[in-house]
Structure formats: structure tokens, C-alpha cells
Amino acid sequence: MGLLEKFLDLVTIDSPSDPTSPTCPSTAVQLNVANHLEQLMKQLGISNVRQKDGYVYGEIPATPGYEGKKAVGFVAHMDTAPEFNGFGVKPQVIPDYDGGDVLLGGSGHVLSPAEFPVLKSLAGRTLITTDGTTLLGADDKAGIAEILEAAERVLNSGLPHGKICLGFTPDEEIGRGPLKFDVPGFGADIAYTLDGGEPEGMTFENFNADAAVITFTGYSIHPGSAKGKMKNSQNIAMEFHSMLPCNERPEYTEGYEGFCHLTDSKGSTEQTVYQYIIRDHDLDKLLAKGETMRRAAAFLNEKYGEGTVQVEIKESYRNMKEKILPVFEVITVAEAAIRAAGLDPVRMPARGGTDGATLSYMGLPCPNLGTGGMNAHGRYECCTLEGMEQCVQIVLQVIKGYAEL
């Protein structure tokens, strides 16, 4: 089973996660992937294959004489995004793609370079798409397939290496990927997630993230006799929102620029609740955004009465950069591997969080490498076999790089 076959095999197994479920994994279908991976890894000759709570682990022991080298890990997630249909995936494989429009099965939807210009650069490659009714699942089954393919080649090639650790997680798409990840049992000194992005991309910076819940308390009375008495919490909530910098919203920011994003609102005259996510690569700037909210609340409490506005801000995750920089070799080795695969490395700050960020704070420095996937979480998701092959080569070069340190 080659790289393409591994990928197609994986994407046809349903595995959406569910943010409303309290279980781990959040959906039973993810266990179908976990069980399949466990069996496949054993067939490939990977050692110490084991599964717990839907997490699948395995390892390739160090080549004799290389036991003292750092153990390197590779991690990918098995779940697909719950916000778009991930059941019944029927991938399309288009050899020698011509760079033009692609009809996605019989769905009537078209993957077009007019909307996605990068497609023009993929002419001549083997393009893999959906049929337009589901997402593809390249996020992150491309990562799993690439890790397994690299592992198989290591086992069959005699490439000298230190200990190699493999880990596949559930529920990354709902922010729970590292929830029960066994860092000590995993056995790696450093690791890389493979999760989305161009093959030449690597990420060791992500947002610092907080979550804010703002509760506005009003006073309801018959509108016919409300003058000087009614306090409409919804109007106060809108006033609060207008006091936050409008240029610091997601639709106006990019790169290293942070934002405050109103994600949910629910209200009545008596009570309104706004939920925000707050993001910034710079921790001081993140904390300043929270302080802006508190100052706005203090102003409104003075205007409408103490207790009218209550602000609750909780930490969500932090920038992995703080944990990566002290072990900078995880970056230099990866960038050398990308160059060895014939690409120019690009450092890409993540405008979001990653499993690697949480794992880094759990004691496992873990930047992210690309998988070659594009347009994730929707019907236009796609990847190319050639891009995936580049990612396999990068993994192999990372393994080689650590063996040579």
C-alpha cells in the first residue's frame, strides 16, 4: 500500500468530532480510525503499538549505535472538522491535472482557479478532491498517511536513526487533541505535528488565546411606563461592543495582528451575554485587549450602576514560541529538512492554536510541519500526491537530521 492508497484508505473512514459530546473521543466513529491504525501499524512492523482513549501510539527503536540520539516524534490527528459534512467521503483522483476547473462529482460544485488561484500551479500533478458533498479529510489524514509512509520507508531502507515515536490523536478539531495525550509514555524528546499547510511551511508561533464572557444585567418594565426606569441590557451590550477597537476584528487583521472576535450573543431586556475570543501573538498585547474590556465595563458600571456589566476572562492557550526557542534545533533541523527536500522553508505564524502548542506546554516541544492540504473544512478541500510526497521526504530528512546531530 503506497502513499496514495494509505491516504484514500483513511479518508473513507468517517471520523468527525463533536464539540457537544463529553466523551473521549467525542465520537465513536473515531475509534474506527484508531482501530484501523493500530492494525495497520502492526502490519508495517512498527513496535510497541498501543491504544488508549482513542489515542494510538507506536515507535521504531533506534538503529544499534544510535540509542543516544534524541528521540523524535511525529503527531497527526484522526478527526475531521464537525462544521461541514464528513460522512461518506468519496474522493476524486485526477492524474495529470490540467490546472483548470474541476467538476466535483455530480454535486454541481466546481473547484476553480478563478476562486483558488493556487490551482494553476498544480498543473501536471495528481490532484485529489472531494465529490462536492463532503470535506476530504486531508486535514489531517494526509498527515497520518505521510507519517506512516515515512515510517514504512525507514523500516525498509536501513536509514540510520534514533528512536522514532508516532502518535495519532482524536478531537483536535474541537480543541481536545492533547487532552489525554501521554507525553511521558510517548517517549519523544521533541516532536512535530503534521497538520495542514504547504509542504515548505513550518510553524512555531501561534496565537496567545483567551476567552471572555461578558454579562450585562438590565431592568425590564412595561415599555409604556419605562421612561427613566428601563435598563435594556441589549442596548448596553451594543454600547460595550462599540467601545472596542473596530479595527481589531478578525475581518480586518492578518499576520501577527491580533483581534477580539464576538462569537456568540444571546439576550433579552433583563440579561444579555456576549462571548468573545481574544487572540494575539504578543502576550502583552493580548492582556491589553482584556484590559480594554475591563475599562469599558468600568465606564458602563459607573454610567448605569455597579454590577451592570461583569467581565470574566479565562486563559485558553499560549504561544508555543516561548517553549520552542530554548530548543531552537527543532526549527533548524526542520528547515534543513525542507531544503533537502528541494523547497525553501517558510516560517508561518499560526492564526489559531495547534495541538503542538499545548503539547509544548506539557513538556514536549512540538512545532508544526505542513501536509500539502488546501481549503480545509469544506467541499473544496484538496491536495496533491506530489505535495504529500514532499512532506514524506521532509519527515525522512528530519529523522536523518537528528541521527546526524
Q: Residues 18, 38, 59, 79: which is the catalytic one?
A: 79
Question: Does the pLDDT of residue 353 top 90, yes or no?
Answer: no
CA distance 372 to 194: 10
Same domain, 63 and 149: yes
| Listed residue (105, 287, 283, 102) closest to 208, CA to CA | 283
Whole-number Å distance between alpha carbons of 315 and 191: 24
Residue range 237-278, pLDDT digits in tens = 999 999 999 999 999 999 999 999 999 999 999 999 999 999
For residue 148, the domain's CATH number is 3.40.630.10
pLDDT at 118: 95
pLDDT band at 24 (very low <50, low <70, confident <90, very high): very high
| Whether 243 and 358 share a structural domain | no
Q: Cβ(201)–Cβ(187) under 8 Å?
A: no
Please check whether residues 265 and 349 belong to one and the same domain. Answer: no
Both 137 and 31 in a single domain?
yes
Q: What is the per-residue DSSP string for 58-125?
A: EEEPPPTT-TTSPPEEEEEE--B-TTS--SS---EEETT--SS-EE-TTS--EE-TTT-GGGGGGTTS
State the Cα–Cα distance between residues 287 and 300, nearest whole angstrom: 20
Cross-strand pairs, 55: 52
Of the pLDDT bands very low, low, confident and very high (cuts 50, 70, 90), residue 185 is: very high
Position 352 pLDDT exceeds 90: no
Question: How far is Cα 150 from Cα 142, in angstroms, rounded to an integer?
Answer: 12
Told to judge if 172 belongs to the known catalytic residues of this protein, a careful annotator would answer yes
**pLDDT score recorded for residue 196:** 82
End-of-domain residue from the set 262, 286, 316: 316
185 and 68 part of one domain: yes
Report whether pLDDT(158) > 90: no
Question: Containing domain of residue 282, as a range?
Answer: 208-316
| Mean pLDDT, rounded, for 360-370 | 96
State the greatest distance between any 2 C-alpha atoms of the chain, in Å, as a whole number. Answer: 87
Note whether 241 and 194 are same-domain residues.
no
pTM of the predicted model as reported, rounded to 2 decimal places: 0.89
Q: Which residues contact 66 (CB under 8 A, 6 or more apart)?
A: 160, 161, 162, 403
Strand duo 164-169 + 72-77: pairing: parallel
User: 65 and 147: one domain?
Assistant: yes
pLDDT digits (tens, 9 = 90+) for 100-137: 999 999 899 999 999 999 999 999 999 999 999 999 99
Phi, psi of 177 (to 5 degrees): -50, -45
Going from the C-alpha of 172 to that of each of 169, 241, 314, 354, 369, the distances in angstroms are 7, 31, 20, 8, 16
Residues 223, 265: one domain? Answer: yes
223 & 304 share domain: yes
Nearest alpha-carbon partner for 364 in 318, 333, 327, 336: 327
Residue 337 pLDDT more than 90?
Answer: yes
Q: pLDDT (tens digit, 9 = 90+) per residue, 50-105?
A: 999 999 999 999 999 999 999 999 999 999 999 999 999 999 999 999 999 999 99
Mean pLDDT for the chain?
96
Residues 6+ apart with CB under 8 A from 228: none
Q: Of 316, 343, 366, which marks where a domain is finished? A: 316
Query: Are 229 and 330 in a shared domain?
Result: no
For residue 387, what are the contacts with CB-CB under 8 A and spacing of at least 6?
125, 198, 199, 372
DSSP state of 49: E
Read off the pLDDT of each residue in 164-191 and give the average, rounded to a whole number: 96
| Domain shared by 181 and 214, yes or no | no
The pLDDT of residue 346 is: 96
Euclidean distance between CA atoms 89 and 16, whole angstroms:
11
Number of domains in the chain: 2
What is the H or E stretch that residue 51 is in? strand 47-52
| The one catalytic residue among 139, 172, 200, 389 | 172
In 3D, which of 358, 362, 361, 354 has the Cα closest to residue 371?
A: 354
Tell me, what CATH number does 248's domain have?
Answer: 3.30.70.360
What integer pLDDT is reported at residue 385 of this predicted model? 98
Express as a percent the part of the chain with pLDDT over 90.
96
254 and 219 within one domain:
yes
Boundary-marking domain end, from 254, 285, 316:
316
Cell numbers found for residue 230: 428601563
Q: Please determine, for residue 141, whether its predicted confidence score (pLDDT) is greater than 90.
A: yes
